[in-house]
Structure 1
Amino acid sequence: MMNAYKIAVIVGSLRKESYNLKTAKALIGMAPETLSFELLPIGDLPLYNEEYDGASPEQYNRFREQLRSFDGLLFLTPEYNRSVPGVLKNAIDVGSRPYGQNCWDGKPGGVVSVSISSLGGFGANHHLRQSLVFVNVPTMPQPEAYIGNAQNLFDESGNLTNESTREFLQTFMTAFENWVKVHVKKPITA
């Protein structure tokens, strides 16, 4: 049995039938043996408040501890008003604080934006990348992943039905696997 790099999947939409969550599950289903994916929930994190830095809420402590255990990060985000949802930005803030204790630091990442618009969440994708630069997440530059018209890509059970999108996501996943291998400092063995 092969060890695998442990990858946190962080979905910026809290909606139960989220297209981002459906896409995340499709990507997890395409995972190569070298990557092990786990959804990392962010919906229960209280809004970041610097006053909590001395005595953090339990949700902060649990999230930070979980985050530290991952080798890499895969973000899926919808676009709200040309940016990321507040819940996703809040998770980035919680994981990067208190100052000097950045849990994101050095973990390689990938970004996929999923939207019902034809632009595929372009604005959110790039805003997220700006925050990831600051928290020192080396983010895979190519292929860029903007998944548009998401309402037409899944069946009633949440399965991805669009073959060209599936092929693109497989290409993305292969590139992401290589990105993680280059940036994670621990070896995996067979």
Structure 2
Amino acid sequence: MSRYEIAVLVGSLRRESFNGKLAIALTRLAPKEFECNLLEIGDLPLYNQDDDADQPAPAKRLKAEIKRSHGVLFVTPEYNRSIPGVLKNAIDHASRPYGHNAFAGKPAGVIGASIGSIGTACAQQHLRDILAYLDMPTLGQPEAFIHVTDNLFDADGNIGAVSRKFLQGWIDKYVAWVQKHAA
């Protein structure tokens, strides 16, 4: 395959989100044959099983974007030692109704950044549990629990020099994972 579409789900809606910045900076490290698309999840209503027969338009759009992708990159903060509600809501919309899981078989990458020293470790583990149920082959190593410091990003929003080698290595492993598992 010469071209790969990667759906990027950021688990934060905050305008100045560290994870939003990390997602953009990571996509810049991907090779040119990887087209990374940050998907909108802020417009999704709360998931309601009563709507499964006719899902809301934003949910239909999200599912179509995920189905079209060759892989999914999750970039998430940690709220209260787990994933943010907005990310769980997006996952619920795109994986429902039962039997119509848009994520099934999509190779996943999980990463996150936090000002805390454990850098989203709990949220990532909870997310990995969910992704296993969703039948997503998920990159296990290297793990990337990013501690946000003043030099994580440079003045242009790229990964700073201190973290560049590690994060380039991480994205290279994810690229190889997608190439191995993408249908």
**1:13 aligned to 2:17?**
no
Tell me what 1:118 maps to.
Answer: 117
Distance across 2 between alignment mates of 1:124 and 1:151: 23
Tell me how far apart the structure 2 counterparts of residues 152 and 101 of structure 1 sit (CA, whole Å): 42
Distance 1:150 1:46 in 2: 34
Residue equivalent to 1:171: 169
Question: How many angstroms does 1:152 deviate by?
Answer: 4.6
Unmatched 5+ stretches in structure 2: none
Taking a change above 3 Å as real, the CA distance of residues 30 and 157 of structure 1, as seen in their structure-2 partners, is closer
In structure 1, give the amino acid aligned to 2:9.
I
Q: Kindly indicate whether the alpha-carbon contact (under 8 Å) linking 2:117 and 2:147 is maintained by their aligned counterparts in 1.
A: yes
- What is the alpha-carbon distance in structure 2 between the residues aligned to residue 182 and residue 157 of structure 1? 32
Deviation of residue 41 (structure 1)?
1.2
1:154 positional shift:
2.7
Match of 2:87, SS state, is helix
Deviation at 1:25, TM superposition (A): 1.0
SS in 1 for 2:15: coil
- The answer to whether the Cα contact below 8 Å between 1:73 and 1:109 also exists between their aligned partners in 2 is yes
Name the counterpart of 2:23. Answer: 24
Change (3 A) 1:111 1:34: same
C-alpha separation in 2, matches of 1:157 and 1:33: 19
Report percent identity of matched pairs: 50
Partner of 1:181: 179
Q: How many residues align?
A: 183
**Gapped regions of structure 1 (runs ≥ 5):** 186-190
Aligned to 2:63: 64
Map 1:3-152 onto structure 2 (within 5 A). Answer: 3-150=2-149, 152=151
2:88 alignment partner AA = K
How many angstroms does 1:164 deviate by?
Answer: 2.8
Moved over 4 A (4+): none
One-letter identity of the residue aligned with 1:31 = A
> Helix, strand or coil for the counterpart of 1:132?
helix
CA RMSD of aligned residues (A): 1.5
**C-alpha spacing 1:35/1:97, structure 2 compared with 1 (3 Å):** same
SS at match of 1:54: helix
In 2, the alpha carbon distance for the partners of 1:55 and 1:183 equals: 31
Q: Matched residues in 2 for 1:160 and 1:33: separation? A: 17
Q: CA deviation at 1:155?
A: 4.7
Normalised by the length of structure 2, the TM-score is 0.95
